[in-house]
Amino acid sequence: MSTNSEVESIVQRIYEKYREFDDGDVATYIPELAKADAAHFGICLATVDGSVFRAGDWEHEFTIQSICKPFAFQMALEEFGRDTTLRHVGVEPSGDAFNSIELDPKTMRPFNPMINAGAIAISSLIKKSPVESGIRGFVDKMQMAAGRPLRIDQDVLASETDTGNRNRAIAYLMLNCGIIDGAVGETLHQYFSQCSLLVNCMDLAMMAATLANMGMNPVSGQQVFDFQFIKDVLSVMFTCGLYDHAGEWAYRVGLPAKSGVSGGILAVVNRQLGIAVYSPKLDSKGNSVRGILACKALANELGLHAFEFTNVGSNFMQAMMQPRDWAK
């Protein structure tokens, strides 16, 4: 296993290696996101024992965008259980773009909760009346996972509300098919607000570490998420978290993860650590270019791929290495 100072220098080296890398384009379809400074690049790792490793612009805040989706899915599972939640959304990769106006033709549900259709269906479930109380509930959970107060970026929220007609089309398709209820405006306000939460790399790494740590924030010790549903969330992140890049990601990086159009990527090394990278320039599939490169390099150098035999830091491997009765 790598020591703390080795991890620190690996994170720094990966940051230096990709800092000048300039491919991709900042998202512009939400006009407010186009204002992002393309030079920003931050990395943060947070372990389940509370250590943190960071480099570059890890403190710079950006909106969480689609990285809200796994957490909203977790909240729906906690509130409604598997059967009800899965009546509204499937768990199949769509192989299509995140904003596709489509439902699974076999089930007439959104393919999964990581694409816009599925996330809007989840927002419809977890919204409350009045709508601001459901948004408050989401922000509260995210604060507990991050371990600090968070707020919504009102300019991004207004910008997305003004221009989000594609999401409106998806929502009305789902209303027509009986997936969501008639409070479409409230559902979309819940969804757009979730996406507009301001976070930095350290927040995302801590949220990922909370998932890795069976739902307990490793620094505060607070049980944020019900651990019985974390495996549901991590499985769907593994197969669907990077949209139509999900197969390539699973093959090359091998970690449950979620990307967002503002340039964040969050990845979870189960029982070990959380990873966050931020860099706003995106590839054609809407994933951060430097984010993918940095995660690939971290997974390779630290042996983090879920099926990597050198992934020996896991609790499971440690338990396996203890003498056991049957092995005597």
Return the residues of window 93-112 that contact ligand DON according to CB under 6 A: 98-99
Site for ligand DON (CB under 6 A): how many residues? 12
User: How many angstroms separate the CA atoms of 171 and 177, rounded?
Assistant: 10
Q: How far is the CB of 303 from ligand DON (least distance, A)?
A: 27
Q: How far is the CB of 153 from ligand DON (least distance, A)?
A: 12
Taking CB under 6 A as the rule, does residue 286 contact ligand DON? yes
Residue 87 or 285: the one with the smaller Cβ distance to ligand DON is: 285
Residue 160 or 311: the one with the smaller Cβ distance to ligand DON is: 160
Rg value, the chain, Cα: 19
Which residues are known to be catalytic?
A: 66, 69, 191, 243, 261
| Contacting range for ligand DON; rule: CB under 6 A; set: 86-94, 178-186, 256-264, 301-309 | 256-264
Taking CB under 6 A as the rule, does residue 279 contact ligand DON? no
Return the residues of window 56-95 that contact ligand DON according to CB under 6 A: 65-66
> In the stretch 164-193, what mask flags binding to ligand DON with x, by CB under 6 A?
---x--------------------------
Residue 216 or 255: the one with the smaller Cβ distance to ligand DON is: 255
Q: Where does this chain bind ligand DON (CB under 6 A)? A: 65-66, 98-99, 116, 160, 167, 195, 259-261, 286
